Amino acid sequence: MAKKKALHRRIIHRFHKRPLWQKITIASVIGVVLAFLGYSVFTYKTSTQETEGFFTCNKEVTVCEISQHIHANLDLTVCGKEIKLEKEEGNTTTAQHTHKEENRLHWHSRLPADPKTRLPLDTTPLTLVSTLSDLGIAFPPNCPTNRNPKTSVSVNGLPQSSGLQYVWKDGDQIVVEYN
């Protein structure tokens, strides 16, 4: 602790011995760096790009695309058995896939979008049925204990009547049961 205080005193002493123009220069550089960092944090925190995606159109605004990077958690049970998604599974460059986090879906790609609503024209790639297919997951026609299994889907604790046609969104907690 004493060494730390002595070092602190030496730094302050050296700073105070500098000419005024050097003190002003150092203070200005520190101020600019802090202002830049503050602006960067503010811009990142207020940006909607992470949740809404990047929206771009051609000059005539006739062809538009939305580029998104979204994540969701998926708990999957098939015939009473919990299925764990493999890590680094799926097409990691263009569509649905997993990374190092267990049962975490990732998706980043571009979709054609409506120029007025800024919404994707076709959300099929983001349906659960497409995602499961891309990950190579198929349900058997029968379960050992049930010859007529049913699929139930809940998202963020709420049942989804759309089932596997549900279009998943960033931050979803998805539970799919096939029993």
Using the CB atoms, write b or e for 128-163: b if 16+ within 10 Å. bebbbebbebeeeeebeeeeebeeebebeeeebeee
User: Could you give the 3-state DSSP secondary structure of residue 175?
Assistant: strand
Amino acid at 75: D
Residue 52 confidence (pLDDT) above 60: no
Q: Residue 122, Cβ neighbours under 10 Å: how many?
A: 9
Give me 113's structure tokens: 């979008």
Mean pLDDT across 152-173: 95
Annotated domain spans of the chain:
2-46, 65-178
| Dihedral, CA of residue 160, residue 161, residue 164 and residue 169, to nearest 10 | -40
Considering only the top CATH level, what class is 65-178?
mainly beta
Mean pLDDT on 118-147: 89
Check if the beta carbon of residue 72 is closer than 8 Å to that of residue 169.
yes
Confirm if 131 and 168 have CB atoms less than 8 A apart: yes
Residue 22 in this model has a pLDDT that exceeds 90: no
Tokens of 166: 């549900």
Residues 37-49, mean pLDDT to the nearest whole number: 69
Write out the two tokens for 145.
């204990």
Cβ-Cβ contacts under 8 Å for 157 (sequence gap 6 or more): 173
- pLDDT over 70, % of the chain: 85
Q: Considering only CA atoms, which of 130, 122, 132 is closest in space to residue 74?
A: 132
Higher-pLDDT residue of 30 and 22 is 30
pLDDT at 115: 87
Of 21-30, 101-110, 139-148, the one with minimum mean pLDDT is: 101-110
Per-chain mean pLDDT for the chain = 83
The structure tokens listed for 70 are 């979204």
Residues 85-124 pLDDT 10s? 876 666 655 566 676 677 888 887 888 888 888 888 888 9
More confident call, 52 vs 65: 65
Predicted local confidence at residue 163, as pLDDT: 95
**Residue 51 in this model has a pLDDT that exceeds 60:** no
Write the CB contacts of 163 (distance below 8 Å, at least 6 apart in sequence): 128, 151, 152, 153
Over the stretch 59-68, which tens digit does the pLDDT of each residue have? 887 889 888 8
Measured distance CA(16)–CA(19) in Å, rounded: 8
> Average pLDDT in the 129-138 region?
87
pLDDT at 6: 77
Neighbours of 126 (CB within 10 A): 22
Q: 11 pLDDT band (50/70/90 cuts)?
A: confident
Please, how many CA atoms are within 13 Å of residue 88, restricted to the half-sphere of its CB? 0
**Which pLDDT does position 88 carry in this prediction?**
62
